[in-house]
C-alpha cells in the first residue's frame, strides 16, 4: 500500500514537472478558464496547450467541463492552490539562503 501511495505521489509530481503546466495551475488558481484564455495568458500554441492540459487531465489534476462548444478548465482540488503557495515559499527560502551565502562570501 505504501508503495502505491509513493507511486501516486511520484506520478503526481511528474505531471507538475513542466513550466507551462505550473503556469496553467497558477492561472486556474485564480479561476476557471477555457483553452483560448489560457493560450492568450501564457502565449502558447494551441497544440502545445492541449498537450499540457491532456497531461494534467490524465493525472486528475484539472477537470474540463463542456460549455457549449468550449471546455472550461478548473482545478480538481482547491488544495493545489496551497501546494503552489508552499512550493513558492520553499523556492523563496532557497533563494534567500543563496543570497545570504553570497553576502557572506562578499563580506570576506
Note the pTM of the prediction, 2 decimals: 0.83
What are the domain boundaries of the chain? 2-77
User: Which segments within 1-108 are labelled E, that is strand?
Assistant: 33-34, 62-67, 70-75
Give me 3's grid cell.
508503495
Tell me: the pLDDT tens digits for 43-98?
988 788 999 999 999 999 999 999 999 999 999 999 999 999 999 999 898 888 78
CATH of domain 2-77: 1.10.10.10
Residue 35: which of 15, 26, 44, 79 has the closest Cα? 44
pLDDT bin (cut points 50, 70, 90) of residue 108 is low
Amino acid at each position: 500500500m505504501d508503495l502505491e501511495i509513493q507511486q501516486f505521489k511520484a506520478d503526481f509530481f511528474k505531471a507538475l514537472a513542466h513550466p507551462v503546466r505550473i503556469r496553467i495551475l497558477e492561472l486556474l488558481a485564480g479561476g476557471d478558464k477555457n483553452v483560448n484564455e489560457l493560450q492568450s495568458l501564457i502565449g502558447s500554441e494551441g497544440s502545445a496547450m492541449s498537450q499540457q492540459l491532456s497531461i494534467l487531465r490524465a493525472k486528475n489534476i484539472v477537470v474540463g467541463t463542456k460549455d457549449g462548444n468550449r471546455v472550461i478548465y478548473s482545478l480538481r482540488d482547491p488544495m493545489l492552490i496551497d501546494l503552489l503557495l508552499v512550493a513558492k515559499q520553499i523556492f523563496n527560502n532557497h533563494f534567500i539562503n543563496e543570497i545570504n551565502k553570497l553576502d557572506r562570501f562578499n563580506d570576506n
